[in-house]
Structure 1
Amino acid sequence: MAQTVSIKEVARLADVSVGTVSNVLNRPEKVAEGTRIRVQRIIEQTGFVRSESARQLRAGSSRMLAMLVLDMANPFFVSVAKGAERAARDAGLGVMLPQYATTLAARGRALPWPPARSAGCWCGSGRPYRGCHGG
């Protein structure tokens, strides 16, 4: 199994700071062309893939929306979910549809909801869910 390369290792190999590697990934226009090319080459050579969850933890934000759906067998809710997913994608966001949450909550077996850091916004399906925002 291949070993995962960290952003620190990319920075060391490129002889730059971790912040510079971060800028190459997130704000490349702020990095001098030669440095940017060198860091990008190291990223390609090492197969570095940034950890989106680590980035979100450090930033204290998420690019995910969570949507509780009462019944995915109901065409209305399917339509709403598709519209939400399309709008989120257009805004550069992802959508989680944990339908199980409402079913398990009704049985008293739900995992804590909303998830502590997975999603920054929750979209409900119209029925109060007592474990979410005190509803």
Structure 2
Amino acid sequence: MNSKDSSENLCPIARSLLFLGDAWTMLILRDANAGLTRFDQFRKSLGIAPTMLTKRLATLTDEKLLEKRQYSERPPREEYVLTEAGRDYLPVLFMIGAWGRKHRGDGKLTRFLDAETGIDIKPIAIDAVTGAEIGTRPIRLLAPE
């Protein structure tokens, strides 16, 4: 797969994975959706090397999942805030987490709770057109003509 020009790839999954398929990138988006915004917060939460974090944040900013906002003038400091695209990625993360809980769930796991009710979130993917749970009906791939 050409990692530089994703527009050549017809599959939206492959196109997205070119920059979102990295574990660090997904974990940064997880933390951003949990409210983290600052470089040091991400570094502490993830235990990631600063150079690697800088690269991932730059990619997420370039791809418009995060945007930089200045929060201090002296010294100049920026934070990373989710865009609509970054917020739209949260259900994807929850579906990955649900899969992991089902198929890699041995031992202790973090729970994801609804902040208002305190109840565990149990995500499922539903086709908005048919109302069917995705994965319960056969699929067919159709390449554009």
**Normalising by structure 2, what TM-score?**
0.22
Relative CO higher for 1 or 2, CA cutoff 8 Å, sep ≥ 6?
1
* Greater radius of gyration (CA): 1
**TM-score calculated relative to the size of structure 1:** 0.23
